[in-house]
Structure 1
Amino acid sequence: MSHIKNEIHEALLNKNGFYRDLNSYYFNCEGSCFTLLPDKGKGHYWFYSYKNIFLISVLDFVLYEDLFIEYPNGNYLSLSYYESISGTEFEPYYKFAAPCLKGHFCNNNPYKCIFHKNIPVRCISLIVTPEYCKEYIHAKNSQQYKNLAKAFSNLDSVPDFPELIYLLNQIKNCRFSGISAKLYYESKVMEAISMIVQKINATASSSSAKRVAPQDFESLVSVTKYIDKHFPLEIKLDALSKIACMGTTKLKYTFKAVYNCTISDYILNKRLKKAEYLLSSTDLSISQISQSIGYKKAGSFSEIFRKNTGLLPNEYRKLSSYNSYSPYKPLDELNFQ
């Protein structure tokens, strides 16, 4: 976890207007507290890390300007509870609606998000690595790690999880020191993971009646492959219905059951993801990008982009930066024994 602490958190915090505050008494002294520079905002970002195993962070600040953050490529699982926030995650797109729980599986791809100004960011997060899973959960191969990653990723679909929120607040309020803090944080991280796995398994069992037949799932795969290749074009529901060999009503229902979004939302997310890539890594004009993803008018594209990300395309381009550096190995290269 030393990479996560030194190469991600400290570097990103220093880059984005936070400074190491050795005189802060807002959080546990066992961790590291960073405070926003007065011209950037007010508040703090605290984190506690242990070896190459896990990291806990507490965010409590207000920004004076929108802040775009890109975490480098990595392999880790994260859990976050947002008590207050206004912002957007990218790849896939997700607009925060606090209070909310968010699970995330990062598999050697960057994590990008934007925090909007003038709205308090209050969050408690846990990050665990494959090394943690090997040592504490005895995940002996990458498939077991992927199963745990699936549980984290499905956390967004859990409608109510008060016991986990209570546990996260216990972590936030801990003031133990030395070995007591280490043991406390270790036990609470393990307890949180246990809760997540149990909750996801219970939720999956209760929704077994909604499972899609194997042949229908294969039909949906054909539909998504078609959309992935043709999303810049106008895609008719009737055409997708013929590809899936099912009626439009059944197609819409099964698609939502499997992908947890509508067909229209799936197409929109494909377009926005492509636009985000073109904005951050090319010099194409807004008009060119608009046409390349299926919008004839740049104004229409700009409004849709703003509605879903909180930023106009030019604002996103200004804030974003392309970062190909990664201190991590791909998941398949990790040495599970």
Structure 2
Amino acid sequence: MLERKIAVGTNEYLTGSAELAAQLGCTKINQNNVVEYCLPPEHGDSWLMEAHPSAGLFVTNAYVTLLKPVVREYDIRQNGRWLCSVTNGVITILEPGKKARRLQPGIHLVQTGRQPFKIVFDADAPIWFTSIWLFDEWIHVHLRDKSVEPSYNFADYDGWQFAQYNTPDILLLFEQLKYALRIASVPLMYYENKIGELLALIIRNVRYEWFWKRQLQEERRRYVTYQNKKYMFLVKEELDKNILNPPSIKQLTTIAGMGATKLRQCFKGTFGITMDEYVRQEKMKEAMRLLSNDDLNIKNIAAAVGYKNSSQLIANFKKVHGFTPNEFRKLFGL
């Protein structure tokens, strides 16, 4: 039985995730410029961390294990959008007159200010996501004195296409927001600047269609059937069980019931990156978490994530994140 809460005129514009946190029974802790909402102890290590840089903008990172599904009903009166980068778990969007959307890993968008909608947070797996509540008023204030492409109107987000806000650099931006929230020490202007960067990247993708349409063309060439996709999620689940020491390609082909070449093609067609790239990215996420602990040196972290020496870690970390481990530590004063 789903837990329900009727929400009339919900107040995300002013309070962000506070009402969701109350529905989950969270306690509130202030950490510098970030608010941490901690779920009750029976949920294990479960929390939402949120920054509120200015009116109409909230940035949230969630790491939540639920004991039963939760339905959150939203009735937001202000025009804007909820952008959510899903990493793990089952989240479903229910909008009037539309088919239910079960969110796959990637970035998703829901418009606000038009009609109520629901978000279902399932209990089948831990839910990990980073999201942005971004309202039109914040955009207008932020861009008021900026030189923006004259042909583009941000209020016209009906035309935004999935591929326009799912490019690799935007996915990396969400990862950077996630770690900034978890460290809870960067100035609030950092989040505003990152959202400005997000808008600039979307302007690029809207104006230069070739940039993202070439990715769609590549996806069509490597179309993956629904049945194959189901097996790819099983493969990903197996990888995630021990990403630092992943199973062999032979073990994965047995799970997927296909040859190695087809497995690699289907994995990239489903998730947009190769298996090797996925494993490398996940290892570098863990490396970034370990780098937040200044008691560990680079050599120890390299060994912890499965590399023989620190040079391999440094090269792969820079390839994934765009900067070296030492530069990351300096950035956050570690």
TM-score for the superposition, normalised by structure 2: 0.51
**Aligned position for 1:314:** none
**Aligned position for 2:207:** 201
Q: Deviations over 1:74-104 (max 9, x none)?
A: 3212211101121311013343343121022
Deviation at 1:108, TM superposition (A): 3.2
**Aligned position for 1:35:** 38
1:59–1:123 contact (8 Å) kept in structure 2:
yes
Which of 17, 26, 39 is the matching residue for 1:18? 26
**Cα separation, partners in 2 of 1:99 and 1:119, compared to 1, 3 Å:** same
TM alignment of 1:1-337, pairs within 5 A: 3-4=11-12, 7=15, 9-22=17-30, 29-40=32-43, 42-74=45-77, 75-91=79-95, 92-138=98-144, 144-147=153-156, 149-150=157-158, 153-154=160-161, 156-158=162-164, 161-174=167-180, 175=183, 177=185, 181-203=187-209
Question: Separation in 2 of the partners of 1:204 and 1:150?
Answer: 20
Deviation at 1:63, TM superposition (A): 0.6
Gaps of 5+ in 2: 1-9, 215-334
Matched residues, number:
196
Question: Separation in 2 of the partners of 1:31 and 1:107?
Answer: 26
Q: Deviations over 1:279-314 (max 9, x none)?
A: xxxxxxxxxxxxxxxxxxxxxxxxxxxxxxxxxxxx
Q: Deviations over 1:46-95 (max 9, x none)?
A: 11112313110001111110111112223212211101121311013343
**Cα separation, partners in 2 of 1:205 and 1:56, compared to 1, 3 Å:** closer
Supply the RMSD in Å over aligned alpha carbons.
Answer: 3.2
1:85–1:96 contact (8 Å) kept in structure 2:
no
Question: Separation in 2 of the partners of 1:112 and 1:190?
Answer: 28
TM superposition outliers: structure 1 runs of 4+ over 6 Å: none
Deviation at 1:186, TM superposition (A): 1.2
Amino acid at match of 2:58: L
Amino acid at match of 2:90: S
Question: Separation in 2 of the partners of 1:160 and 1:19?
Answer: 33
TM-score for the superposition, normalised by structure 1: 0.51
Question: Separation in 1 of the partners of 2:126 and 2:195?
Answer: 25
3-state secondary structure, aligned to 1:49: strand
Question: Separation in 1 of the partners of 2:176 and 2:126?
Answer: 21
**Cα separation, partners in 2 of 1:85 and 1:158, compared to 1, 3 Å:** farther
**Cα separation, partners in 2 of 1:40 and 1:71, compared to 1, 3 Å:** farther
Which protein has the larger Cα radius of gyration, Structure 1 or Structure 2?
1
**Larger RCO (CA under 8 A, 6+ residues apart):** 1
Q: Deviations over 1:153-177 (max 9, x none)?
A: 42x2459511111111111112464
